[in-house]
Amino acid sequence: MQYLIQLLISGLAIGAIYGLIAMGFAVIYKSTGLVNFAQGEMTMITAYIAWTISTTVSGNVFVVAVGAILAAVLLGLIIERLVMRPMLGEPVFATVMVTIGLAVILRSAINFIWDAYPHGLDIGMGRGIVHLGGIGVRAGQIAVIATLLLLLAAIWAFFRYSKVGVAMRAVAADDRTALLMGISATRVHALAWAASSVIAGIGGVFFALSYDLSPAMFQLGLKAFPATILGGLDAVLGSGVGGLLIGITENLAGGYIGSGMKEVAGFAMIIIVLMIRPFGIFGERDIERV
C-alpha cells in the first residue's frame, strides 16, 4: 500500500510538471492555433535564468521567483514580437516550422550561454525532504502539485469569464473575423506567449528544483505535448490533468511492470483514451457542418 502511495505521489509530482508545460502548449494553441515546438526549450531557458539569478543575485525564494517570472514574460514577449508576429497570416505549417527553428536556437543557447554540465537550483527551500506518514517527499514536489491546481482554477476562470480570455478563443477560431471586430490579434498573441512562457517556466523551475538543470531538459516538451493532446489541445484545463495522468501512468507502469515500459505505458494510455475520445479528455469536437 505504501508502495502504491509512494508511486502515486511521485507520479503526481512529475505529472504536475508535465501538466504545467502542457498548459503552456494549450494556452498558445487556444489563442493562436499553433503548436509551439519550442515550448520545452523556453521552459529550459526560464529555469536556467532562475538558476543564474539564484547564483548571482540572490538565492532568496522570492527574488528568484519574481525574477524568473519576469524573465519568462520577457522571453515570451520577445519571441512573439521578433519571431512570431512577422509570421502573422502566413500558413500554419510555416509558422509551426518557425517554432522548430526557434527551438534549435534556444537549445544551442544553453551551451552557448551556460554549459553542458548539470546544475542544481538552490533557493534555500524545496529540496528538503518532508516525511508524510513515513513517505519521503521533497517540499518542492508538494509545492508543484499545489501550484498546478491553483493555476488550473485561475486559467479556467480566465478563459470562461474574462473578455480577453474569450477574445483569445475568438482569435484562435477565426483571426480575420476577430480583426474585423476590432480585436487586435497581435496583442492577444503577445499575451498568450507571455502567459504560456510563464506557466511553462514555472514548471521548468520546479523541475530544476527536484531534478536539476541539464541541457537535456528541453525533452520535457516531448513529454508535455502528448499530455496536451491527451487532455485536449484546446483545453488548457485538460492539459494540466493530462500531465498528471501521464505522470501517474508512467510511474505505475514503472513500479509494477518495469522501467523500460514507462514511456510505452504512457503512450498506450493516450492511444486508448483517444480511441474512446478522439478529441482528448476535455477537448471539444471540431464543429463541422456542411
Length of the chain: 290
The Cα 34–Cα 196 span in angstroms is 12
Q: Which of residues 66-125 bind other proteins (CB under 8 A)?
A: 83, 86-87, 89-91, 93-98, 100-105, 107-109, 111-112, 115-120
CA angle 221, 213, 136 (to 5 degrees): 95
The region of 42-50, 69-77, 146-154, 244-252 touching other proteins under the rule CB under 8 A is 244-252
Instruction: Write out the E strands in 28-155.
Output: 129-132, 135-138
The region of 42-50, 65-73, 148-156, 218-226 touching other proteins under the rule CB under 8 A is 218-226
Which residue's CB is nearer to other proteins, number 62 or number 94? 94
CB of 130 to other proteins, least distance (A): 10
Which residue's CB is nearer to other proteins, number 12 or number 53? 12
With contacts defined by CB under 8 A, how many residues of the chain interact with other proteins?
102
| Best CA proximity match to 248, nearest among 17, 85, 45, 38 | 17
The region of 48-56, 70-78, 146-154, 268-276 touching other proteins under the rule CB under 8 A is 268-276
Report the 10 Å Cβ neighbour count for 242: 33
| Best CA proximity match to 243, nearest among 9, 38, 13 | 13
Which residue's CB is nearer to other proteins, number 70 or number 111? 111
The region of 64-72, 145-153, 192-200, 224-232 touching other proteins under the rule CB under 8 A is 224-232
In the numeric block, the cell 509558422 is attached to 95
Q: At what angle do helices 185-211 and 139-161 cross, to 10 degrees?
A: 170
Q: Which of residues 143-202 bind other proteins (CB under 8 A)?
A: 163, 166-167, 169-170, 173-184
Single out the residue of 77, 254, 281, 282 in contact with other proteins (rule: CB under 8 A). 254
CB of 149 to other proteins, least distance (A): 20
Asked if residue 20 lies in contact with residue 200, where contact means CB atoms within 8 angstroms, the answer is yes
CB of 214 to other proteins, least distance (A): 5
Per-residue cell: 20? 504545467
**Helices and strands of the chain, counted as H and E runs:** 11, 2
Report the 10 Å Cβ neighbour count for 276: 7
Interface with other proteins, residue 251, by CB under 8 A: yes
Which residue's CB is nearer to other proteins, number 69 or number 96? 96
The region of 55-63, 142-150, 190-198, 219-227 touching other proteins under the rule CB under 8 A is 219-227
Which residue's CB is nearer to other proteins, number 70 or number 271? 271
Single out the residue of 48, 206, 225, 282 in contact with other proteins (rule: CB under 8 A). 225
Beta bridge pairs of residue 135: 132
Which residue's CB is nearer to other proteins, number 69 or number 128? 128
Interface with other proteins, residue 235, by CB under 8 A: no
In the numeric block, the cell 502515486 is attached to 8
The Cα 75–Cα 217 span in angstroms is 17
Q: Which of residues 26-65 bind other proteins (CB under 8 A)?
A: 35, 37
CB of 255 to other proteins, least distance (A): 4
Asked if residue 11 lies in contact with residue 251, where contact means CB atoms within 8 angstroms, the answer is yes
